Amino acid sequence: MKQYVVTASEMQRYDANTTENYHVPSLLLMERAALATAEEILRVHGDEPHRALIVAGCGNNGGDGLAVGRLLMLRGWQVDCVLPGSAQKCSAQTSAQLDILRAYGVRIDSTIGEIEYDVIVDALFGVGLSRNVEGIYAEVIGRINGSAAYVCSVDIPSGIDADTGAVMGCAVRADLTVTYGFRKLGQLLYPGASYTGRLVCRDIGIDERSFCGVPPFWYTRTGADGGLLPDRRPDGNKGTFGKALVIAGCGRIAGAAMMAAKSVLRAGAGMVKAVTDVQNREAIQQFVPEAMLLTYEERGAADNIILAEAWSLFREELKEAGAWADCILIGPGLGRGETAYELLAFCIRESGLPLVIDADGLNLLAGDERLVEELKESGRRGRTIILTPHLQEFARLYGCTTAEAGTHLTEYPRLLGERLQCVVVCKDARTVVTEHDHREGYLHTAGNAGMATAGAGDVLAGIITGLLAQGLPGMDAAAAGVYLHGVAGDMAASRRTQTAMTATDIIDCIGDAAAYISGGTKEKR
């Protein structure tokens, strides 16, 4: 199921649209947010009264928290409230909540006392935080984090950047975060995701109608989605479902080629032909007996160079293979020698097929500006090109440090896609998929830490290629492939544990993951 993920400015606009265009009062939205939050706290702690501390800021997030305190108090809880800032600086809605609490006889303190609490409600800062947390607010966050209490953050943990997930000096570590309307980027991106705890998104009356024709750029997927993967024609044959050329694996390094080719077939492609060093023939035939093979033998001045005469003959065979195929994957385990370069140059210069470039193909591309320009021109002419870099490979292509690439995960891939006229799948703990002329981007939130294992990227490249071979457009194939890969990875972890799972375990789960996504009987455990 497709779910939108919003930035701070988008959420603020949708909030305003709801009030201005649909005449829903801000105080009503605040009351619904507080009710949703109180319900989630009670869901955790039950009906028995507890002692709670509300730590409120001066903005509307503070007003949400104060209203939560009132609702808990009316359920018999002992509630204390702390407002570290000046009451004179509070928003109109938060001032109204302060007046309500005072009318009930609740005292509003300016500092946290030494009392031990069962629950602390963090309502210091909302999604609008734009500068580092310092001074008294940093001290308050330190007190919250040092407490043994269960911490519930209102909308987003205070101190987390709602757009990037960055820690703004310091941040609350929540056990539970209750957010409203739509999930925020900073709750899903790291390190913010680690501070968010269990994330619950509740409807308070701000829905897709509040977009007013301008939807968010980012979306994610959860659960089943019957239209995501290609349909299987009942009258089809192996040619109907696509033919993929996988150019992968240098001498005696067969694993990447094996896993990529196997994953192409598991993703539903009808046929695959592996182009690889002859030394890999037996290994690939045993692991992927369904695959056809086109091999070359590297000899000459260096082990990674094909003799000129042999290359000329092989090149003709490669042309024939290109004429046979519907799409090409190049790069997994290919190495960075002369032969690998010539193969990549062939794919860019002499083929117009949809092209997926992964691993060593990306490293070769990053080192040759001429190939980059030729690839860009090919994309301008309308060719489907998908790049699948992990963060370090992306940094080489983009021209930045790995740290900068991680910090700008939702920005730089979009810019690289525009620069190279292609789809970019930037792989990290959260993977993003963007396209140069697309109006939305996919933020991947499935998967797990067990997928940080050798070969998992080769499996992903194969899955995307398999979907591309079946005729999915580039952005659709990339986003669907990343999601299918993530669901398969979650299934593999449930069977093998995150510690023990391997890339081949992910391959083994692709079929069950496809059934789950398509609404079949296999469940994601």
The per-residue DSSP string of 240-298 comes to TT-EEEEE---TT--HHHHHHHHHHHHTT-SEEEEEEEGGGHHHHHHH-TT-EEEEE--
| CB-CB neighbours of 438 under 10 Å | 18
- Say how far apart CA 362 and CA 393 lie, in whole Å: 7
Of the chain, the percentage scoring pLDDT greater than 90 comes to: 89
User: What pLDDT, on a 0 to 100 scale, did the predictor assign at position 171?
Assistant: 98
The predicted-structure confidence for 69-96, as pLDDT tens digits, reads as follows 999 999 999 999 999 988 899 999 999 9
- Rounded to 5 degrees, φ, ψ at 425 are -110, 100
Query: Bridge partners of 385?
Result: 355
Run of H or E residues at 80: strand 78-82
431-435 and 441-444 beta bridge pairing? antiparallel
Q: Where are the domains of the chain?
A: 2-216, 243-517
Domain 2-216 CATH superfamily: YjeF N-terminal domain (3.40.50.10260)
- How many CB atoms lie under 10 A from the CB of residue 368? 15
Model confidence pLDDT, tens digit, residues 289-335: 999 999 988 764 455 555 556 777 888 999 999 999 999 999 999 99
- pLDDT surpasses 50 at 525: no
Which one is predicted more confidently, 422 or 233? 422
Tens of pLDDT along 142-155? 999 999 999 999 99
What is the per-residue pLDDT for 38?
A: 98
pLDDT of residue 311: 75
Return the pLDDT at 439: 87
Closest to 486 measured CA to CA, from 280, 254, 221, 238:
221
Q: What is the pLDDT of residue 520?
A: 66
Per the CB < 8 A criterion, the answer to whether 373 and 343 are in contact is no
Of 73-77, 120-124, 299-303, 370-374, minimum mean pLDDT range: 299-303
- Given a contact cutoff of 8 angstroms between Cβ atoms, the answer to whether 294 and 273 are in contact is yes
Closest CA to 255 of 245, 266, 243, 263: 263
pLDDT of 301 reads 45
Comparison of pLDDT for 362 and 339, the residue scoring more: 362
Predicted TM-score (pTM) of this structure: 0.94
d(CA 172, CA 159): 7
Tell me which of 162-166, 206-210, 336-340, 468-472 is least confident.
Answer: 336-340
Among the four given CATH numbers 3.40.605.10, 3.40.1190.20, 3.40.190.10, 3.40.50.720, the one describing domain 243-517? 3.40.1190.20
Task: Tell me the pLDDT of the chain averaged across its residues.
Answer: 94
> For residue 172, what pLDDT is reported?
98
Span 462-482, average pLDDT: 98
Task: Give me the pLDDT at residue 313, please.
Answer: 83
